[in-house]
Every structure is written in structure tokens, then in C-alpha cells.
């Protein structure tokens, strides 16, 4: 962006005041490049932030052609050169694990270790840059967990990589739905998970009272930081009918209830354990601002049913702001020019809001 001889215009000043948001490209065999490209050209994104794509410039140019955009892609190095705006889109490729030619040969919708490695390296570089305050937030396009493993990277997903890079042990994945037609709470609804990327069979033995209490605290902190004066939090049961007084399992009495009881003297509004089917219905109806679910699908299924395009994944407990759309790589529609950017746009808007309000998401004492 070039200033006139009389100095920068008001629009240029306004642009420079917007938070710098890093958008990692994700797995190039999936819809990540397309939804990133579409989001970057959306007026809602341009109005709220300065997007900087972290990925391969040639892949981004290909994605721009796919969506019919004439925007120029400008590779840059170092980060201090970022001047995104107008018909120009900055793209930072901080690693050379795979060249553009190598990644260009990755087949759409395929599991490829080159794509898995590149997605990981871009994520790590963006995280480290955000920790160094080069970015105000990061928004991650989806990666593929099987591709990560093919590349020799033993991580179950974004959340665990981010926690490792940030050096935190208290963290959680939250699906957050902004207030609107999908949920009735005036503050939206956040659903965090005690266990995450693991098998259903392993969930009971992974649940601990400390783990449940930790997630309650992270959800409370997040809601308080976005302006909820007295967060209303519901905690799900693990078993049907909350165990039916031990007939269907005793985790409610032995693990979950003691975690909730820890907050009895704090003045917090924490209720449970409540059967998941009843609790999520009540939460969507506006009775709760936050929910702590015991496992991945317990929280994901109802939220994706009511807010598939607007739910935003937020990682709690990090010293940086990180969001993502709630969808995956969608290999079945990759590079067909039909992927919706709405999830990515909502994730960018949420990241921009959190960055502007200086919310250190989930940094609980």
C-alpha cells in the first residue's frame, strides 16, 4: 500500500489499524485453499482485519483462479513487509518442506504426506509468529489427521499441536455459536470438551474430576472475557439419564459431580451433571451460555445440526487467539469450486473481535 505525497489516506489508516490475522492454508488436498481465497476477498473480512495467508503462493494463485478472482498474490519475507489490501493479497511461505511444484502435484481429495507436512509446518510457523506478536491472531483452515500421520507427525489434530507449541497443558476445544437464530442466549453458546480426539471406548478411563473442573474454569474464563458477567454453565453427564442413579454407570457420581461441587463456594452458576440430550436442547434454547461436554461427538453433533456454517472452533487456554471453521477438509468437494467460505469467514470475524478486545482466550488463573 503506497501513501500519497500528502501522507496516508484515512482509509489507509483505518486499514493499518485492523488486526493482522494469519490464515493457515491447511491441507492443500482439501477445501482449505479455496475457502481461504474466498474469505480473503469477502467484504466482511476486508472490513474487520488484514488477512495474511500462510502457505504456498502458487497454491493460493491456483485457488484464486478457481474462484475467478484477479487479485494479485504477493509473496513476502520478512513479516514486516506485510501490506495487504485492495487487489493484493500477501502470502507468507515460511518453510520449504515441499516446493510449490511438489504441492501442486498433490491430487485433490487424496491423503498425501507432503500435504500433511506442509499443513503442520505452516501451522507451527504461524503459531510462533503469533507468539512473537507478528500476528494478532491465527485462523486455521482444516488439516487432515491421517495425512499428518502419513508424514510421521503423531498428533490427533490442530488443538494438540497448538498446545504443544504454546507450552500449555490446560487447554480445550470449544465450538462457539454467536448469538442469533441458531441459539437463544444473548451471548451465544460455547461448548467445550473434556476429552477430544480419542476413541469412545477410551473416554471413561480418561475422565477425571480435575479434568472436568479444568474445563469448567476455561469455559467460565472465556465467557467472562467476552462480556458475560455471570456465565451460566451446564455440565453434561457421560451416561444416558445421567447414569440413572448408578444403573448405567457411576461416572456422574464418582467423577463429574465432585468437579461441579468445587465451584459451589465460588458463586458461579454451574449445573449438572445433566443428561446430554436434555442439556444441549436447553442450552440452545437460551438457558445456558456455556456447556462442558464429556467427549467430542457429544458436543459436536448438536452444534453442527443447528449451526453448521456459523459455529467457530476456538482453542481455550492458549496465550494467543486461535479460531477455525468447524468443518473438515471435505475431500469429496475439494478443488471443485463449490466450497462455502461461511465457516472460515465467521472464524476470521471472531478472531478479529477477540484480537481487538485483547482477550487472551482462556488464560485462566
pLDDT of residue 128: 96
Which residue in this structure is represented by grid cell 478443488? 335
Asked if 347 and 312 count as a contact pair (C-beta separation under 8 A), the reply is yes
CATH superfamily entry for domain 172-316: Isopropylmalate Dehydrogenase (3.40.718.10)
Measured CA to CA, the distance from residue 332 to residue 50 in angstroms comes to 31
Would the pLDDT of 354 be above 60? yes
Q: Do domains 1-169+318-360 and 172-316 have the same CATH topology?
A: yes
Average pLDDT of the chain is 89
In this prediction, residue 98 has a pLDDT band, given cuts at 50, 70 and 90, of low
Instruction: For the chain, give every domain's residue range.
Output: 1-169+318-360, 172-316
Q: Which CATH number, 1.10.760.10, 1.10.260.40, 3.40.718.10, 3.40.50.300, labels domain 1-169+318-360?
A: 3.40.718.10
Percent of the chain whose predicted confidence (pLDDT) is above 90: 78
Is there a contact between 54 and 23 (Cβ–Cβ < 8 Å)? Answer: yes
pTM attached to this predicted model: 0.89
Whether residue 365 is predicted with pLDDT greater than 80 in this model: the reply is: no
End-to-end CA, the chain: 41
| Model confidence pLDDT, tens digit, residues 117-167 | 999 999 999 999 999 999 999 999 999 999 999 999 999 899 999 999 999
**Up-side HSE of residue 302: CA atoms within 13 Å toward CB?**
22
Q: Which residue has the cell 487487489?
A: 87
* Whether pLDDT at 30 is above 90: yes
pLDDT for 364 beyond 50: no
**Is the per-residue pLDDT at 54 higher than 60?**
yes
Q: Tell the burial category of 175 from Cβ atoms under 10 Å away from its Cβ (0-12, 13-18, 19+).
A: buried
CA angle, 5 then 9 then 13, to 5°: 125
Tens-place pLDDT, residues 232-268: 999 999 999 987 787 788 999 999 999 999 998 888 9
Q: Measured between alpha carbons, how far is 80 from 1 in angstroms, rounded to an integer? A: 13
Whole-number pLDDT of residue 132: 94
Give Dmax over CA atoms of the chain in angstroms. Answer: 78
Number of residues that make up the chain = 365
Q: How far apart are CA 312 and CA 345, in angstroms?
A: 10
* pLDDT, tens digit (0-9, with 9 covering 90-100), for 169-200: 999 999 999 988 899 999 999 999 999 989 99
Taking the CA of residue 61 as centre, how many other CA atoms within 13 Å lie in the half-sphere pointing to its CB? 12
Q: Does the bond joining 273 to the residue before it have cis omega, within 30 degrees of 0?
A: yes
Amino acid at each position: 500500500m503506497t501513501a500519497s505525497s500528502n501522507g496516508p489516506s484515512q482509509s489507509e489508516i483505518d486499514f493499518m489499524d485492523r488486526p493482522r490475522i494469519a490464515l493457515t492454508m491447511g491441507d492443500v488436498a482439501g477445501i482449505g485453499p479455496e475457502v481461504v481465497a474466498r474469505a480473503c476477498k469477502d467484504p466482511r473480512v476486508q472490513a474487520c482485519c488484514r488477512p495474511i495467508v500462510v502457505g504456498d503462493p502458487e497454491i493460493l494463485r491456483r485457488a484464486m483462479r478457481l474462484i475467478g478472482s484477479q487479485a494479485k498474490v504477493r509473496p513476502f519475507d520478512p513479516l514486516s513487509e506485510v501490506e495487504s489490501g485492495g487487489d493484493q493479497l500477501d502470502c507468507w511461505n515460511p518453510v520449504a518442506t515441499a516446493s510449490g511444484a511438489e504441492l501442486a502435484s498433490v491430487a485433490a481429495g487424496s491423503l498425501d504426506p507432503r500435504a500433511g507436512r506442509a499443513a503442520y509446518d505452516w501451522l507451527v510457523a504461524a503459531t510462533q509468529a503469533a507468539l512473537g506478536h507478528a500476528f494478532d491472531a491465527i485462523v486455521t483452515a482444516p488439516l487432515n489427521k491421517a495425512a499428518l500421520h502419513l508424514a510421521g507427525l503423531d498428533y490427533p489434530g490442530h488443538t494438540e499441536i497448538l498446545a504443544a507449541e504454546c507450552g500449555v497443558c490446560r487447554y480445550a476445544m470449544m465450538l462457539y455459536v454467536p448469538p442469533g437464530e441458531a441459539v437463544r442466549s444473548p451471548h451465544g453458546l460455547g461448548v467445550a470438551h473434556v476429552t477430544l480426539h480419542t476413541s469412545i471406548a477410551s473416554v471413561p478411563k480418561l475422565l477425571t474430576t480435575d479434568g472436568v473442573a479444568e474445563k469448567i474454569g476455561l469455559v467460565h474464563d472465556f465467557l467472562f472475557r467476552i462480556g458475560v458477567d455471570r456465565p451460566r454453565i451446564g455440565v453434561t453427564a457421560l451416561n444416558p439419564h445421567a447414569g440413572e442413579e448408578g444403573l448405567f454407570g457411576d461416572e456422574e457420581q464418582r467423577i463429574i459431580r465432585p468437579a461441579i461441587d468445587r465451584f459451589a463456594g465460588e458463586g458461579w452458576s454451574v449445573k449438572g451433571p445433566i443428561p446430554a440430550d436434555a442439556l444441549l436442547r436447553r442450552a440452545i434454547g437460551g438457558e445456558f451460555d456455556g456447556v462442558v461436554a464429556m467427549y467430542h461427538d457429544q458436543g459436536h453433533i448438536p452444534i453442527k445440526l443447528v449451526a453448521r456454517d456459523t459455529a467457530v472452533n476456538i482453542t481455550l487456554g492458549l496465550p494467543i487467539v486461535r479460531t477455525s471453521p468447524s468443518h473438515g477438509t471435505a475431500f469429496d468437494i475439494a478443488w471443485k469450486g463449490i466450497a462455502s467460505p461461511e465457516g472460515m469467514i465467521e472464524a476470521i470475524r471472531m478472531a478479529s473481535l477477540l484480537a481487538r478486545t485483547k482477550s487472551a482466550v482462556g488464560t485462566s488463573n
